[in-house]
Structure 1
Amino acid sequence: MKMIRFDDLQLFARTAALGSFSTAAREADLLPGQVAAAIARLERELDLRLFVRTTRSLRLTAEGAVYLPYAHDVLAALREGRARVQGEDAELAGTLKVAAPSDLGRNVLLPWLTAFRRAHPRLQLHLQLSDQVTDVFRDPVDIAFRLGRFDDASYVALSLLPDNRRVLVASPGYVQAHGAPHSMDALKDHACLLYQLGGRTHDRWNFEHDGRRSVVVVRGALLCDDADVVRRWAVAGEGIAYKSWLDVGDDVRAGRLQVLLDGSGEPLPLNLVCPHRKQFSPAVRQLHGFLGERLAPLLEGLPIAR
């Protein structure tokens, strides 16, 4: 058997994840025919068929599905070997692809990510900002910032801020005009600022108070699929928002917003996540340390959970 090309193996893995020659080609800056040729070459070397191709779809064969995890292991081993040879103290180079929620990424992380890239001139930073939850198995990213708890054992995570929480906030002007809710149930009588993600409206707010969990169904006339717009509406006095402390802490400290109901919101830890520990490259580990030192002070002023 001839030597399998590393690039062909990479294109196989990405094509399997994306389900399309053309999408994989755009990602790699190639022509679809070049990707198809790479897959055909790999199939010849392996003497098996990896994909079933129709005019409308592309899917793995049974043999391709069996082979795919081995391809991932080989690619991960090569990345890890390169990182070990270079060492943790080697100059960072190559491309680091990072995904982050748009609100957190734009208002909190952006200057620090820029400073990290500036400190490593040979490193390219590709930043994806979106409120859609990044699929770190499918999307072309090395690492993703993820808010909230997750129980999926297939992910691995580097903790950044385990004590972050959601808090209820409103502007002093709103509280003066409408009063502050004195209980969770009283939220039903207030204008709540709603967030929509993936077509789903988040109008069931979860709380942890005195060690008990509760859910309150809220309503409001303002709804947006951009989390930062919800924060801006709250600052403008349009209603009550239920946001990550990382998103509203600066507004609370500046007096533009105030915390309601003792800040008894649900935990919302911040982590860096990826599918496999072998993807924690020197660049990822150094970014984790760089941000850990800078993020911790942002919890200043967060009310102590009861």
Structure 2
Amino acid sequence: MYSLGDIQLFILTADLGSLSKAARQLDLVPATASASLKRLELHLNTRLFARSTRSLRLTPEGTLFLEYGRQALTLLNQGEAQLRSDGEIKGHLRLSMPADVGRNVLLPWLNAFQKTYPKVTLALQFSDRIIDLFSAPIDVAFRYGKLDDSTLISQPLAASRRVVVASPTYLAQHGTPTTPKELAEHNCLLFYLERGLFNNWRFHTGKNAIVIKVSGDRMTDDAAIAREWAIAGLGIAYKSWLDVRQDLAEGRLVTLLDHYVGEETPLNMVYPERSSTSPVLRALLLFLREKFHALDIPSERHF
């Protein structure tokens, strides 16, 4: 039977690309390290590394087992840390979130979370692109929309829909569209999503779906910039209600085409299954759900 030390040596060898380097780092003699790796391979009845005189690389079976080995060590470390902490919430989380909702909604709440749990450290990444949680150094991602990857755990935080918004200044100068078709006559503020430029705006009224291809003189890879352009009176934007709720409440923006229902953009907290037992992650999920629950989020008929 292999030991925890065998798993640690295997992972470190894969990371360093060298059994001898891994042995030195773990303060093992080469013979002991070699015996450890052979013991693991014998128990699994498979070769984990393809060896030559000059290189050591993972086999397909080794690559598969490496991910499970990492998960096992992560869970053991989390359990050990929890026992030592006597139930105290502490630890480090690396978070990725869309720029707009991240800065305007989540950031103040994350600051409050750290004030509540002062032994928690957070590393924040603001990006509108989809992060691969299995390869990127990210523990948790906040994502709009329905989750396509069934290998991840998705925890719903808040319902939301896209709403068409513009500033009172823009509308005074250019008029107010009353149907989605009239958006083609206006300067629409565009941003890029994972599949490219977001210039097909979708609505429905009753059972009828409407797709309007829009255009404009401004495009960005940061959706928060499109919101700022709209506030500045430079055009019309199609944003998640969560992104613009404060601007609507304070009159910087107003909604248009209120008789048409925009695309659903529910906000979810997404993470790999290996992170699901983390006490600090569970504390963050509960904290944010309470914050979102306190928001006065409109029902579908009021969006």
Amino acid in structure 1 at the alignment position of 2:155: L
In structure 2, the gaps of 5 or more residues are 42-46
Amino acid in structure 1 at the alignment position of 2:69: A
Give the TM-score taking structure 1 as reference length: 0.79
CA gap of 1:37–1:204, structure 2 versus 1, over 3 A, is: farther
1:120 corresponding residue in structure 2: 117
Is 1:283 aligned to residue 277 of structure 2?
Answer: no
1:29 corresponding residue in structure 2: none
Q: CA deviation at 1:139?
A: 1.5
Is the 8 Å Cα contact of residues 194 and 222 (structure 1) preserved in structure 2?
Answer: yes
Deviation per residue, 1:206-242 (Å, 9 max, x gap): 2233244332211000111111111010011111101
Is the 8 Å Cα contact of residues 276 and 282 (structure 2) preserved in structure 1?
Answer: no
1:208 corresponding residue in structure 2: 204
Q: Which runs of 4+ in 1 moved over 6 A?
A: 35-40
Q: CA deviation at 1:198?
A: 5.7
Instruction: Determine which of 237, 245, 257 is the counterpart of 1:261.
Output: 257
Instruction: Determine which of 150, 163, 166 is the counterpart of 1:167.
Output: 163
Amino acid in structure 2 at the alignment position of 1:144: A
Q: CA deviation at 1:69?
A: 4.6
1:95 corresponding residue in structure 2: 92
CA gap of 1:191–1:34, structure 2 versus 1, over 3 A, is: farther
Amino acid in structure 2 at the alignment position of 1:196: Y
CA–CA distance in structure 2, aligned partners of residues 273 and 248 of structure 1 = 22
What's the RMSD between the two structures over aligned residues? Answer: 3.5
Is the 8 Å Cα contact of residues 9 and 23 (structure 2) preserved in structure 1?
Answer: no
2:269 corresponding residue in structure 1: 272
CA–CA distance in structure 1, aligned partners of residues 50 and 208 of structure 2 = 50
In structure 1, the gaps of 5 or more residues are 16-20, 23-32
Residues 12-161 of structure 1: pairs in structure 2 closer than 5 A: 15=15, 43=37, 46-47=40-41, 48-50=47-49, 60-75=58-73, 77-79=75-77, 81-82=79-80, 85=83, 90-161=87-158
Is the 8 Å Cα contact of residues 13 and 21 (structure 2) preserved in structure 1?
Answer: no
Q: Give the secondary-structure state (helix, strand or coil) at the position aligned to 2:263.
A: coil
Between the two proteins, the alignment pairs up a number of residues equal to 286
Is 1:220 aligned to residue 180 of structure 2?
Answer: no
Of all paired residues, the percent bearing the same amino acid is 40
CA–CA distance in structure 2, aligned partners of residues 146 and 169 of structure 1 = 21
Is the 8 Å Cα contact of residues 164 and 257 (structure 2) preserved in structure 1?
Answer: yes
Q: Give the secondary-structure state (helix, strand or coil) at the position aligned to 1:251.
A: helix
Amino acid in structure 2 at the alignment position of 1:261: L
Deviation per residue, 1:43-72 (Å, 9 max, x gap): 55534344789x9xx974222134235324
Amino acid in structure 2 at the alignment position of 1:219: S
For the pair shown, the structure with the greater C-alpha radius of gyration is: 2
CA–CA distance in structure 2, aligned partners of residues 215 and 237 of structure 1 = 24
Amino acid in structure 2 at the alignment position of 1:46: L
Amino acid in structure 2 at the alignment position of 1:203: N
Is the 8 Å Cα contact of residues 245 and 302 (structure 1) preserved in structure 2?
Answer: no
